[in-house]
A and B are shown apart, each in its own frame.
Chain A
Amino acid sequence: MPDHHDPDGSPQVHLGVFFTGVGPQLIWADPACASHHEIETFVQVTRLLERGLFDAFFLGEGLRVRENRGKVYDLDVSGRPDAITQLAALAAVTDRIGLVATQNATYNYPADLARRLASLDLISGGRAGWNIVTTDNAWTGENFRHGGWLPHERRYERATQFVETAKQLWSAGPAGPPVDVRTDLVSLRAAATVPPSPQGRPVLFQAGDSDGGRELAAKHADVVFSRHRELDEAQAYARDLRTRLARYGRQPDEVRILPGASVVVGDTPREAEEKARWVRGEQVNGPRALAYLEQYWGTDLSAYDPDGPLPDIEPSSGELDPSRGTIAIERRTGKLELIQSWRDLAAERGLSIRQLVLEVSGGHATFTGTPGQIADTWAHYVRTRAVDGFNITPHLLPSSLADIVDRVVPELQDRGVYRTKYAGTTLREHLALPPLRAAAAAA
């Protein structure tokens, strides 16, 4: 086994960075935050992460610019590149870091995407990964040839067939026979145009948390990008996943669990807490708090004071539209009940609009503390097998990542839970995944 366990067998922390390119996480208004539209920023970030011996750098993707009540949403960073194109450029100026592209299994042609991913994998020397996502909303589909064609309940069925088709193409290689698939969800006849990379095929990441998502992960993922960060939840998730893996004849060490996380590092616990409060305050500023509620009220709330009480007007009837991007399915219905629960909470605790949104919108820093505290926590997480590491979402580019590379990584190394050099060259090796089995590659 490569480097997942050090010689005395203790588990290792694997780190990645997930750069979404949208959303409130990135504090663009801070002068220390580099432009996420400049390729140079990402050259700098990926080289920094290589210095920190990270496993991977991920780019997020969303196939329609987010909106609020029919207009492009203006308060968060937006505007992002095609992930594979950007990562191919970064492949030329880095030599170890894994390069993971979020790509949609609903609005892509399977042979085309499989080919582009295999191309990234080969040109990077075996460092590519694919973060498999799905979209069921017709609003995103309006940018594509067959918009809104896939019902919600079949999106993982399509994704599973898509992944299986891609795996067939990757394992057949250009010398193999063409892959022929005819179902109502995937229909093609294609041959690979690219031979396998040194890691065999791109590493597959999967983030879906529904039953369908977990099944897809258990069947096909090499890494799950879960959202269960609290220790007990993470342990429960890991147990569930391992049970599912066994059903598909897979071993626990064939899948790494890397939940998304945000990290605030300080010199003292108190300084870290203060910094975390500042980060959160910037992320949920007044205009964003109002926009958050507008999404649910469905009406213009700009006349309200974000530091005052909740809007006294009634929300528009009807349900949420998906135009702000990814809204979890459970939040798409029942908005009137949700708003009533917020009113109850605000009344009970005397919360302003902004305080309420801070409370209910999620996105609190997952780990806040000194480098030593964070390293202790992470060492405990991996030793209890709750997770294999974290996918970190930065709030400042690149300084919040430099904090981790320069300050947390040495503490992890001191505790024997982090590599001191890359043992291999491929993403698969960094993740200490077992080599592909011929049968598994083709499955």
Chain B
Amino acid sequence: MTTGRLLLAVETDGAGAHPAAWRYPGVSGAALDPKSIAAAVIAAEKAGFALAAFGDGPVPPPAGSRIEAGVRAAYLSPLTTRIGLAPALHVTTAEPFHLATQLASLDHASHGRAAWVVGAANDGPARATIGAAPLDAAARGQELRDVIDVARALWDSWEDDAVIKDTVTGRFIDNDKVHHVRFEGASFSVAGPLITPRPPQGQVVIIAPDSLGVADRSDITLIGGFSPTIGHGPRVLAGRAGRAREAGSPLVFAELEVALDQPGERAANRLARLASLAAWPATDRVRFAGSAEALTEFLAGLAAYVDGVLFHPAEAAVDFPILCGEVLPALTASGLARTPGPDGGTLRDVLGLPRPANRFAHPVRSARA
């Protein structure tokens, strides 16, 4: 089922996953400093990560601030050449048309390296930012499906060869190849076409946790909820990965929160120290604390079940350099990592995903063209 080699992704948002991470000396302003944001993603690219995720939400994080994820990802696009750029955008607080345009534009700016981490923030404060109340579970699920579906339709609304620049007839585009989408969702409709030509990847890569129930619409499904010692809990891991694949998700990534041993302080001791500053509530992600070697071993076991891993460093200042400097080199040396080649290519190329055919393209006519 898997290739046995892992695609590696890393969350680059802010100071780290631990609520006390921002207290690390010198990091409090780093989440807002363009140079620091860029340095982290450039380091991740150099280390061999296939993807950088940019966490986000409509409400500021506790005791912090954050630059909108789409803006961060776009800023990184000309500063990187191989790494995928995956901002989190929330279907519950966005205009679907703008969301699709923003992601298509990121794909153009990055020459085909855009991905979308699907979010569906639905608590009171998040929804209040658009003057709305939280959606019930059914409506939220419908909204998720509708926004993904309309984004995918809009990304196809320009065929790849729509721009013809025919100087004889004076036609810039072939308007038989730019389509209305006439999408009718439960709570909105969109006429289309998109204002932006088809993204270089055809379809931006869609990443969503399995808990959102859209594995059938995702390119990468994120799973968690299993034990960090595989020997004791492969059933949950295998079950969730299997269900995502059965639903139609071509790739499955595990989400791991990691705290790693550093000289002078073991990860477990560091977590205990951080716990005295702020509690770290349990999440659906797998939480790993230990040495870089132990993590590498754990990942080797994971590779039988998942195609990749999305790391959330507990403290970016501590754990991210260890991931780049120790874990990735070890994985690469043992042939366990699938890293982007020097020439890059699109994110779909790196992920081994085909470039999707356009739903509006007429196969016969295209074959003749």
Contact = CB atoms under 8 A, between A and B. Distances in A.
A63 B154 CA distance: 13
Contacts of A62: 195
A199 B42 CA distance: 27
Interface stretch (B127-135, B238-246, B270-278, B321-329): B127-135
A143 interface: yes
A46 to B, nearest CB: 11
Interface in A111-131: 111-112, 115-116, 119-120, 122-125
Given A72-B178, A111-B129, A123-B72, A192 B191 contact: no
Contacts of A414: none
Interface string A284-295: 011110000000
A93 interface: yes
B175 interface: yes
A112 B94 contact: yes
Given A82-B102, A82-B105, A194 B65 contact: yes
Interface stretch (B161-169, B209-217, B338-346): B161-169
Contacts of A65: 178, 193-195
B222 to A, nearest CB: 23
B170 A287 contact: yes
A89 B109 contact: yes
B97 A63 contact: yes
A65 B177 CA distance: 13
Contact of B60 (A120, A192, A286): A192
A260 interface: no
B105 A85 contact: yes
A193 B60 contact: yes
Contacts of B94: 109, 112
B71 interface: yes
Contact of A37 (B32, B101, B108, B110): B108
Interface stretch (A183-191, A307-315, A421-429, A435-443): A183-191
11 contacts: A64-B195, A76-B172, A81-B196, A85-B106, A88-B75, A116-B70, A143-B192, A144-B97, A192-B65, A193-B60, A194-B67
A85 B109 contact: yes
A85 B74 contact: yes
Considering the complex of A and B, which 9 residue pairs feature the smallest CB-CB distances, nearest first? A187-B131, A88-B74, A81-B105, A142-B191, A85-B105, A119-B71, A119-B68, A193-B60, A287-B170
B64 A174 contact: yes
B229 to A, nearest CB: 37
**B131, B188, B191, B195 — which one has the most chain A CB atoms within 10 A of its CB?**
B195
Given A63-B195, A92-B75, A145-B187, A74 B67 contact: no
Interface in B120-138: 125, 128-131
Contact of B130 (A71, A112, A288): A112
B108 A84 contact: no
Per DSSP, chain A at the interface is loop
A109 B130 contact: yes
Interface of A: 28-29, 37, 39, 43, 61-65, 71-82, 84-86, 88-93, 107-109, 111-112, 115-116, 119-120, 122-125, 142-145, 147, 173-174, 186-195, 285-288
A23 to B, nearest CB: 11
B75 A91 contact: yes
Given A91-B75, A112-B129, A82 B196 contact: yes
B59 interface: yes
Contacts of B79: 92-93
Nearest to B196: A81
B71 A116 contact: yes
Nearest to B170: A287
A111 B128 CA distance: 10
A328 B57 CA distance: 38
Interface in B74-105: 74-79, 93-98, 101-102, 104-105
A28 B38 CA distance: 35
Given A85-B102, A145-B188, A193 B172 contact: no
B174 interface: yes
Interface of B: 32, 34, 37-38, 58-61, 64-68, 70-72, 74-79, 93-98, 101-102, 104-106, 108-111, 125, 128-131, 158, 162-163, 165, 167, 169-175, 178, 187-197
A116 B108 contact: no
A28 B189 contact: no
Contacts of B169: 287
Given A39-B109, A145-B95, A92 B58 contact: no
Nearest to A147: B189
Contacts of B93: 109, 112
Contact of B173 (A64, A74, A174): A74
Contacts of A119: 67-68, 71-72
Nearest to B67: A119
A126 B64 CA distance: 20
Contacts of B78: 39, 43, 89-90, 92-93
Nearest to A71: B175
Contacts of A107: 95
Given A64-B195, A79-B163, A124-B34, 18 more contacts: A61-B195, A64-B191, A65-B195, A71-B175, A72-B173, A79-B196, A81-B108, A84-B71, A88-B74, A91-B75, A93-B79, A112-B93, A142-B189, A187-B131, A188-B130, A189-B125, A190-B59, A194-B68
Contacts of A93: 78-79
Nearest to B94: A112
A286 B168 CA distance: 11
Given A72-B175, A109-B130, A29 B165 contact: yes
B13 to A, nearest CB: 12
